[in-house]
Amino acid sequence: MSNAITEIDNTDLVFIFGYNPADSHPIVANHVINAKRNGAKIIVCDPRKIETARIADMHIALKNGSNIALLNAIGHVIIEEDLYDKSFVASPFRRLRGVSQNR
């Protein structure tokens, strides 16, 4: 997870990929439920009909082994439709370039 748990409550979309917070992290599951109550859309991507999929707006039941193909497709759409912040993406590389030049 790349964000603070409390940020889940006020997001527009929760995308849960191969993870079942209802079983493995009940505190996170409560925040997902709060997000749903606050109007967030919930997408669960898991081959199983896991507990969290029951509250999802969309359950993507992938066949085993096809998860990377889905992630590649999502990445392709994000890039092709210019749906990303270029300066945010480039920022870590500028810092890395600066570090390597200072050596």
Closest CA to 43 of 6, 81, 70: 70
Query: What tens digit of pLDDT does each residue of 21-33 get?
Result: 999 999 999 999 9
- The answer to whether residue 83 scores a pLDDT higher than 90 is yes
Domain locations in the chain as residue ranges? 5-101
Query: What tens digit of pLDDT does each residue of 26-71 get?
Result: 999 999 999 999 999 999 999 999 999 999 999 999 998 899 999 9
Mean per-residue pLDDT, 76-88:
91
* Phi and psi angles of residue 39, each rounded to the nearest 5 degrees, phi first: 105, 0
Residue type, 13: L
Residue keyed to tokens 């964000």: 3
- The answer to whether residue 101 scores a pLDDT higher than 70 is no
CATH of region 5-101:
3.40.228.10
- The residues, any chain, with a CB within 8 Å of residue 43's CB and separated by 6 or more, are 13, 14, 15, 16, 56, 57, 58, 59, 60
